[in-house]
Structure 1
Amino acid sequence: MKRFLASAAAVLLVATATTLTADVDLKDIQCVVAKKAADASKSADYKDGKVFFCCNGCAGKFAKDTEKYAVKANHQLVATKQYVQKKCPFSGGKLNESTAIKLAGTKVAFCCNNCKGKAEGAEDDEAKLKLIYNDKAFKKGFELAKKE
Structure 2
Amino acid sequence: MNSKKALTLLIAICLLVIAGCQKKTEPAAPAAEANAAVSAAVEQTMCPVMGGVINKDLFVEYQGKKVYFCCGQCKGDFEKDPEKYIAKLPQFKN
Give the TM-score normalised by structure 1: 0.35
1:114 matched to which residue of 2? 73
Deviation of 1:132 (Å): 2.6
Aligned residues: 61
Quote the RMSD (CA, aligned, Å).
2.4
Higher relative helix content? 2
Structure 2, unmatched stretches of 5+, are 1-29
What SS is found at the alignment partner of 1:97?
strand
Match of 1:22 among 18, 21, 33: 33
What SS is found at the alignment partner of 2:85?
helix
Identity of aligned residues (%): 26
2:60 matched to which residue of 1? 101
Match of 1:91 among 50, 55, 62: 50
Deviation of 1:118 (Å): 0.3
Aligned pair in 2 of structure 1 residues 133, 82: CA closer, same or farther (>3 Å)?
farther
Structure 1, unmatched stretches of 5+, are 1-18, 26-48, 50-79, 123-127, 144-148
Give the TM-score normalised by structure 2: 0.52
Matches within 5 A, 1:50-129: 80-122=39-81, 128=82
